[in-house]
Structure 1
């Protein structure tokens, strides 16, 4: 019987390229970057660990489903959590950059505009 997804810790596997839970179910293909071979069915998936997890999770689209997976819902939940985490990080980064740029941008651009204007006036005065 194939291993259940919920039996594996999500903190990673020793010797794996990253701490991604997907490495419990697949191994990197030597000398083929972004290729992962499924430990459950032997299929080689191109496109990295995220695409391989779609194979495990039976996510529709261009990735064929692994016939030997028992807990599809667990992997789908992990994929969704990873996507939400990535979006949250992007949102927090954007908010942080907006706060940093807030008042400083106006002052910076005013200074740059003043310097450009002074440079133009200096160049024009030399050519007259």
Structure 2
């Protein structure tokens, strides 16, 4: 009797843990992987996406080598229209929006319409 009770507890815990796991989003690849025209989607868990493992072969002779191109990353069809800007060690003196030397025409246009991004973390 206690074995059945233990089995029921184990099954309940298993299904509870399974229900807490989020939905899995599979990576979608179009085209032949390794060809220049191949595309892929990525998980939203890590940005920027990690570099894929090299799938070609490098030999001393170019004729014996096998070329390989990383697939071009494309958003999934249901992806929202969001722009993520990642910078490192860049202050207000860098973009042209705030008088800096790096041309940022789109940010200049957005700032001219009254939207300034000045709360950076």
Tell me which structure has the larger Cα radius of gyration.
1
TM-score over 0.5 (shorter chain): no
Q: TM-score, normalised by structure 1?
A: 0.22
More helix by share: 1
